A and B are shown apart, each in its own frame.
Chain A
Amino acid sequence: MLPELLQGVDTGGLLVIQDSASYSGRHLLQSFINAALNREEAVHVLGFEVSEEELKDGLRGSPVQRLHFHNAYTDPLGWTDNPAFTVHQFCLGELTRLVKQTSHSKPATLVIDSLSWILRHVSTPDVCKTLQQLRKGGAVRSIIGLLHADMHQRGTVGSVCHSATSVITVEPAMRGDEAVAKITKRSKSGKVIQDEEIFRIKDDLTVVVQSKSSKGAKKADSEEQETDPTANLTFNLRLSDTERETKQKLALPFVFSKEKKTALLHSGPGSGRIHYEPDANDDYDQEDPDDDLDV
């Protein structure tokens, strides 16, 4: 599912990449930025943790004209007189103004590197509210944020991911250059899709999905071909036309003629009646015969 997410986050969606100290999610974040730039979208990056040179260095080869880097690396808390971008400017009004002043006609993608930095200085409910307002407002098309899961309490991580549309948790895999991505995607209809993939990021920042790691032993290795059971039999199961006609004409033992049927149906007062009480088997749903369709 990782390639689909790379092709574009849905409008109004929030994608959170959760990483930890054992594997940094920044490469994956750069892959997302690269994919967005290649799609000719304007990308605004709020950089708290890495400097502009370092980020652009990693994005060698991508069209960086549409990348707007807002420098929150040099002075995030506003200690000097004229800071470029401080963490206290992380609110709806400021961010909308920032995005609108350099944006093109299409709404931009906002990349936040990282959310953990903001969460340390702004309260979690305010961060969640700002993210929600940004999504609902029209200035930003989608938001991608990097979150260091081991830096916060479980409730904080859970609250931020609770309102996210997709969450990718990256962990190191067996081999050095590979990583495991656990993806949870929530669609608008409320369906939740989960996936686990092993991927590798190449030098040009494209993501190669190696394989899906098998979770349980229930996966069938090979699919059996549907065989027609009546194919190779030593006896004949088919009917010719005349045989079929005679079969139709055969009078079955308990099939009565029409007159007798009507006589029995409109029977007099003394005879038996049929009382039918519907039971559980009558809940037969034509569209869902096995009663197991997922909603």
Chain B
Amino acid sequence: MAAPMSSVGKPSAERSPFNNTSFQKKTRSKLISIPGTRPSVQNGQLLVSTGVTSLDYLLGGGLAVGTVLLIEEDRYDSYSRMILKYFLAEGVVCRHELYVAAAQDNPDDILQELPAPILDDVAMHKPAEQPRLSCEPPDGLDAMKIAWRYQNLPKVQTALASSSRFGHYYDVSKTMEPEIRQAAKCHRFYLPEHPTQSSPPHSTMLESYSALLKSLQEVINREGFDVAAPMSNSRNILRIGLHSLGSALWGDDLCCHDNPKNGRALTTFLYGLRALLRSSLSVAVVTLPSHLIQDRALMGSITRLCDNAIALESFKGSERETNPLYKDYHGLIHVRQVPHLNCLASKLPDHKDLAFKLKRKQFSIERLHLPPDLSDTVSRVSRGELAGATMVASACGSSSSGNKHLDF
């Protein structure tokens, strides 16, 4: 894991709930220091957290500014929507600006469902081993009967509300308070509110996508996220969340037919989006219902056009739900692509079988491993079975009498 940015030894002068210490690293580099970002340890790119710390680790520390993360949705769009909400919630906590575009649900509804961040001052009280026998109540927390040597130690904060300010943790069962949410500036794009203008006949992009791209460009120029804009002291990052792009509600028949008529509309849009992002201080997360897309070649070209790509496969409703191997997890996660920005090769995750589990306070991505097989007959082949097998296997050789078997 990459090291957190705040230095350990310096005392913090003032602590605002979201920000790190007042310690400013003296650096002569040209890297602009924006809250909520940090340089990558691998290639020096400016990284932004996705809101899910295990996903940050998978993507090599975080999302590089100016790139696109493609999330292939699971069948019922529950977990991909959750990751989108984490991404936007992280933007609120880091005080970035948000841009949400959706065709199905109103962006305001998505913004109202953001999970509540777990803050440091809400420290979890760690219960010491209270003796079960004592019937008199202890005098507050100071009189510990058995573990009294730990009395004077400070209350332990759980690792979840950790000190690294790069990634935050969220409690999914609560929604973010309106005061926190309204402190962040949000731009919305709800497709039914934009009347479709007729596009020129030779354009390969649909009206909905061109309207979205125009709106994005206008926001980036107006709010000063353009890298070419004059450098002011306060730069910020624009977090763009595009929900369910490519679905039928955007007017695209990519998901509807095997040979879509305007199959290149989404790819043209992604090309334009990436060009826009590369020249601005923004990050985009796009979710796509890829389970509806039948054309695998098209899906491949869509993946190539995005920098990072992951696919979520949830077990709900599939036959894997009853598989005992998967009983601890909610689904599998496949990393389709990791970018190599300004370098020749990138660091791929070590393990390819990854499974995720949405817990209340954490979206954890773990390596899938076989649980130990604790049944009795696991290492012992019964005599009858082996005899049968040898009978079958040695059909052409000399047939055994059936009682001979090898037992090591």
A-side interface residues toward B, CB under 8 Å? 123-125, 127-129, 132-133, 136, 153-156, 158-160, 162-163, 184, 186, 190-192, 194, 215-216, 218, 244, 247-248, 255-256, 261, 264-265, 274, 276, 278, 280, 282-285, 287-288, 291, 293, 295
Contact = CB atoms under 8 A, between A and B. Distances in A.
Contacts of B180: none
Contact of A295 (B148, B156, B252, B358): B358
Contacts of A264: 149
Interface string B146-169: 101111110011111000000000
B93 interface: no
A282 B257 CA distance: 51
A293 B171 CA distance: 13
A155 B258 contact: yes
Contacts of B360: 285, 287-288, 293, 295
A285 B252 CA distance: 45
A123 B249 CA distance: 12
Closest 7 pairs (CB-CB, A-B): A124-B256, A128-B248, A159-B248, A158-B292, A125-B248, A192-B76, A216-B322
A116 to B, nearest CB: 14
Contact of B247 (A123, A156, A159, A285): A159
A108 B186 CA distance: 36
Interface in B220-262: 247-253, 255-258
A129 B81 CA distance: 20
Interface of B: 76-78, 81-82, 104, 124, 126-127, 133-136, 145-146, 148-153, 156-160, 172-173, 192, 247-253, 255-258, 289, 291-294, 316-317, 322, 358-361
Contacts of B124: 284-285
A283 B160 contact: yes
Given A218-B322, A285-B360, A158 B291 contact: yes
Nearest to B152: A265
9 contacts: A132-B192, A133-B192, A158-B291, A184-B317, A216-B322, A247-B133, A276-B153, A285-B360, A295-B360
A154 B159 CA distance: 46
Given A186-B76, A265-B148, 18 more contacts: A125-B248, A125-B253, A133-B192, A154-B292, A155-B294, A159-B255, A159-B256, A163-B104, A163-B249, A190-B81, A190-B82, A218-B322, A248-B134, A274-B150, A283-B160, A284-B126, A285-B361, A293-B360
Given A155-B257, A156-B257, A125 B251 contact: yes
Nearest to B192: A133
A148 to B, nearest CB: 16
Q: Is the interface of B mostly helix, strand, loop or mixed?
A: loop
A209 B392 CA distance: 48
A123 B358 contact: no
A211 B194 CA distance: 48
Nearest to A283: B158
Nearest to A279: B159
B317 A278 contact: no
Contacts of A162: 77, 247-248, 255, 289, 292
A129 B249 contact: yes
Contacts of B153: 274, 276
A127 B256 CA distance: 11
Given A128-B248, A216-B322, A276-B156, A159 B292 contact: yes
A194 B317 contact: yes
A154 B294 contact: yes
A158 B255 CA distance: 8
A129 to B, nearest CB: 6
A274 B359 CA distance: 32
A216 to B, nearest CB: 5
A187 B277 CA distance: 35
Contacts of A163: 104, 247-249
Nearest to A215: B322
A125 B156 contact: no
B158 A125 contact: no
B256 A295 contact: no
Contacts of A191: 78
Given A159-B247, A162-B289, A293-B360, A276 B158 contact: no
Contacts of B316: 192, 194
Nearest to B151: A265
Contact of B253 (A123, A247, A255): A123
